[in-house]
Amino acid sequence: MKRFSRLILLSGVLSLLFSALFVIHPPTRAEQNSAPGFHRKLSKDIAKKVQDGRGTDFVRVIVQSASWADLSLDSTLETNGGTNIRKFRNFPVRVVTLTATAAANLAERNDVSYVSLNRDVLALGHLSRTTGADQIRNSGSNDTRLDGSGVGIAVIDSGIDTAHTAFLDKTNQVRVVYSEDFTGEGRTDDPYGHGTHVAALAAGNGRISSGEYLGIAPNANLINLRVLNADGVGTTAWVLRALDWVASNRGVYNIRVVNMSLGMPAIDSYRNDPICRAVRELVDVGVVVFAAAGNNGKDADGNKVYGHIHSPGNEPSAITVGASNTFGTDERTDDGVATYSSRGPTRSFSTDDDGVRHYDNLIKPDLVAPGNRLIEAESDGNLLVTQTPSLDAGVSSRENRRMMYLSGSSMATPVAAGTAALMLQANPSLTPNLIKLLLMYSAQPLAGFNMLEQGAGQLNTVGAVQLSELIRTDLSATTTIGSPLLTVDNSPTPETTISDRTFTWSRGIVLNHTYATGIDLITKFQMNYGLGALLSDGVITGDATVSLDPSFFSEGVITGDQILVSNGVITGDGAPFLDINLLVHDLLVESSFLSDGVITGDGVITGDGVITGDMVATAQAAMVGGDACSASITPDDGTDCLSY
């Protein structure tokens, strides 16, 4: 552990990008490999098409610019063969169809910051008791009960079956307040079956089976943004359109939370990935974004693997959620990280002008949440259950009341998103960075799992909400470092009791390549808690050193130099697992440090952008490799329970 030691003024200069004449011509192999900026500003998959002699193939690409104020680039796209150009209101991005060679030439322009393929995107019973959400809802009077009321959660997924009973409020009004389709199929229901289940985990009510399958924030409003088609597949452009819509309409529907239980290959560094950059824009204006880590934590032989975090889970400002397994019990002493949950570090990369890759190597996920064999709402006639009937949980045979099993980080993510809705109802002034802090600080470290598997630990809804209620509501951009963070003089006892078992909080946070702990994290204001910042701002890395800039952090915050295996007590007390210098200095390879697994390749799934495994779709799949559970089923008698 090292205390920060020196003041380093961090400054940056933003350079203006000027337009240059764009002429389409087939580059030679030498030009492809030597042109300035070719490697740096062009994604690997497009470059490979050109290098393989497929430059005349038409591709759908994402073109990013620092600004689109100059219309010359738009004109160039139109006059040089670009078709079906899609524009966005809030992001300096165009989606366009053109040849791979033309796309490669775009990357050579000074006014283009990055060109990438429009990749495909896939969807990645005792829940409220084991997370502690029941304790929060039952802690006050009916007038003040925390249930997500007034908070909007945007679910970017395969649609929502709004006719399902799980989405009614107590006056029988549907809580899905807005729906829009971005797939072109002209429907906002859920023929695939993923989005309905995800939405109900975040905000399903307790009408069915006497409240047994209650979501985390059962009275929150839901915004249904459909980006996955009837087969559960989407594109980068569709996701960008949904995020663009959120940026324009967040104030109308009080959208404070976005759930993204989907993923795509994390090929491009988060600095260049268009969805990561759009997520950052939303976080900077106060919308907290949750992203699934992915479900590639083991190979076909069941061996543990590292480095398979999906995009946008590789974005530092997103809260990336992995899946834990509760084994069907409310108490948390037997909980562990699900074997399939994707492990860090992030292996997305940028390429310099010499063609050398530089990997992001961020510690992800940020935390884990229950995600194994969860029972929630089943959209009628959906493809998942049609293909695998055993996914139906047998709770009800009545239309609009059926429930189904699903497993994966896609299921864990809305559990955390619902918790954020409760936190924001308790304290609407919370910034995304404060929410991320409180979720990690109050998390329960799971014994025997390292930070690349669980981040700070397992979600603790009770602790996170209780801390939220103690945070000052008058924090602002003028609040100085070290100012009191809480409305009370003494910090709360860092422990939570669920099902008569008490566990200690992590009392720490993950910071890109390291972690920090210390009482000041929760008692004093740090400069990276506001909008437009990352929690990791102010972390200084050098040769074999990590320190904290005192202009960002107060003296009671300390940082570590090892990735740890938790002993189940506190983030900073675990046994060393991996030296952070292997992350910071981009030396991560198959290593003796990784005694229980290896980094496999780049963490990039090969193919034309299609990925698999964003959820464990079959009930049987969740029963293999140490993930079995024995949860019992509570049948539905058809009578609505209104006491949730």
Q: Is residue 604 part of a domain?
A: no
Cα–Cα distances in angstroms (integers) from residue 501 to residues 8, 331, 447, 463, 497, in the given order: 45, 7, 15, 14, 5
Comparison of pLDDT for 452 and 638, the residue scoring more: 452
Task: Say yes or no: 159 and 104 in one domain.
Answer: no
How confident is the model over 300-320, as a mean pLDDT? 93
Are 347 and 434 in a shared domain?
A: yes
CATH of residue 80's domain is 3.30.70.80
Q: Are residues 368 and 435 in the same domain?
A: yes
- Both 167 and 83 in one domain: the answer is no
Are 266 and 374 in the same domain? yes
Provide the pLDDT for residue 572.
Answer: 86
**How many whole angstroms separate alpha carbon 573 and alpha carbon 193?**
42
Residue 185 neighbours by CB under 8 Å, 6+ apart: 229, 230
CA 271, 277, 283, 287 torsion-angle sign: negative
Cβ atoms of 583 and 544 within 8 Å: the answer is: no
Judge whether 25 counts as a catalytic residue: no
For the record, the structure tokens of 169 come out as 């409020």
**pLDDT band at residue 580, thresholds of 50, 70 and 90?**
confident
**Which member of 39, 126, 164, 194 is catalytic?**
194
**Domain harbouring 331, CATH code:** 3.40.50.200
Residue pair 349/45 in contact by the 8 Å Cβ criterion = no
Q: Which domain holds residue 400?
A: 122-470+611-621
Q: What is the pTM of this model?
A: 0.85
Quote the strand ranges of 201-351, DSSP E.
221-226, 233-235, 255-260, 262-263, 288-292, 305-306, 319-325, 336-337, 349-351
pLDDT digits (tens, 9 = 90+) for 264-307: 888 999 999 999 999 999 999 999 999 999 998 988 888 889 99
- In this structure, are 95 and 107 located in the same domain? yes
Beta-bridged to residue 541, according to DSSP, are 546
Tokens matching residue 105: 């030439």
Specify the pLDDT at position 299.
84
Contact 140, 465 (CB under 8 A): no
Helix (H, G, I), strand (E, B) or coil at 306: strand
Q: Give mean pLDDT, residues 614-634.
A: 48
512 token code pair: 């890109």
Q: What is the pLDDT of residue 30?
A: 33
pLDDT in tens, 137-170: 765 434 468 999 999 999 999 999 999 999 999 9
Q: Which pLDDT value is given to residue 64?
A: 93
Give CA–CA dist 566/576, Å, rounded.
9
CB 414 within 8 A of CB 201: yes
**Where would I find the H helices in 427-489?**
432-441, 451-454, 461-470
**Residue at 335 is within a domain:** yes
Q: How far apart are CA 201 and CA 126, in angstroms?
A: 11
Single residue among 118, 138, 161 that ends a domain in this structure: 118
pLDDT, tens digit (0-9, with 9 covering 90-100), for 360-399: 999 999 999 999 889 999 999 999 999 999 999 999 999 9
Residue 380 falls within a domain, yes or no?
yes
- Dihedral class, residue 320 (left if φ above 0, else alpha if ψ from -120 to 50, else beta): beta
Q: pLDDT for 227-265, tens place per residue?
A: 999 999 999 999 999 999 999 999 999 999 999 999 888
Torsion on CA atoms 539, 541, 545, 551, rounded to nearest 10: -40
CA–CA distance, 510 with 455 (Å, rounded to integer): 7
Q: For this structure, is 111 an active site residue?
A: no
Q: Are residues 347 and 367 in the same domain?
A: yes
Structure tokens at 414: 């809305």
Give me the pLDDT at residue 137, please: 72
| Alpha helices (runs of H) in 259-404, residue ranges in sequence order | 274-284, 383-387
Do residues 195 and 320 share a domain?
A: yes
Query: Residue 308 catalytic?
Result: no
Residues 461, 398 share a domain? yes
Q: Are 49 and 141 members of one domain? A: no
Q: Give CA separation, 302 vs 321, 346, 594, in Å.
A: 21, 21, 16
Query: Biggest alpha carbon distance in the chain?
Result: 72
The number of domains in the chain is 2
* In a domain? residue 556: no
Q: Do residues 227 and 614 lie in contact, with contact meaning Cβ atoms separated by under 8 Å?
A: no
Count of beta carbons in the 10 Å neighbourhood of residue 173: 10
77-103: average pLDDT: 88
Rounded distance, CA 572 to CA 183, Å? 45
pLDDT band at 607 (very low <50, low <70, confident <90, very high): very low
Of 348, 410, 506, 547, which is the active-site residue?
410
The tokens 């329960």 sit on which residue? 444
pLDDT band at 220 (very low <50, low <70, confident <90, very high): very high
pLDDT at 631 over 60: no
Active-site entry in 157, 189, 335, 602:
157
109 lies in the same domain as 133: no
Question: Is the pLDDT at 515 greater than 90, yes or no?
Answer: yes
